[in-house]
Amino acid sequence: MRNLSCGRSVHLLDVENLVGTPRPATAEVVTLMGHYRRRVPAGFTDQYVAAVNHGALLAVGLALAGIQLLVRSGPDGADEALCEVIRLDHLDDRFERVIIGSGDGIFTDLADWLRRRGVEVVVVSRPDALSYRLRRTAAQVIPLDLAA
């Protein structure tokens, strides 16, 4: 049986957390992705999944054309949507590396679960928004400074 995860990565982007606002403008998301792509190595087979609340859908959708976009309302809606992807889409079987683009502590237990299943977990976050527990769980943390 062929190992489907070999060399593959998935980028899970909590856009609101990465930008630092629940309603980012399209230009802010374009700037974010420019910084992200310069800081985070990506392979040809990498996949991207982004999540936002319904109020950010249009602005983020315009900036991230071609990237799978999940929408969930509520204070932790985007986080919950990405957590479901980790659990329900069998990322541990399909990817060698999971890059969590968020500093939210809600991802800590799932990051630990992925790590115990042999998946490399990388966290990309603004330094001021990074949960201590998530930082300690990740194999690598890549700081994302949007002001630079």
Note whether residue 137 is domain-resident.
Answer: yes
Confidence category of residue 1, pLDDT binned at 50, 70, 90: very low
pTM, to two decimals: 0.93
- Mean pLDDT along residues 76-98: 92
Rounded to whole angstroms, what are the CA distances from 20 to 56, 77, 85, 90, 146? 13, 15, 22, 29, 10
Note whether residue 2 is domain-resident.
Answer: no
| Domain hosting residue 64, numbered range | 9-143
Residues 60-73 have pLDDT tens digits of 999 999 999 999 99
Instruction: Tell me the β-bridge partners of 122.
Output: 99, 140
Confidence check: pLDDT of 2 > 50: no
Note whether residue 3 is domain-resident.
Answer: no
As for how many domains the chain has, the answer is: 1
Q: What pLDDT does residue 3 have?
A: 55
Q: What pLDDT does residue 7 have?
A: 83
Note whether residue 4 is domain-resident.
Answer: no
- In CATH, what number is assigned to the domain containing residue 20? 3.40.50.1010
* Identity of the amino acid at 104: D
Rounded distance, CA 32 to CA 26, Å? 10
Confidence check: pLDDT of 32 > 50: yes
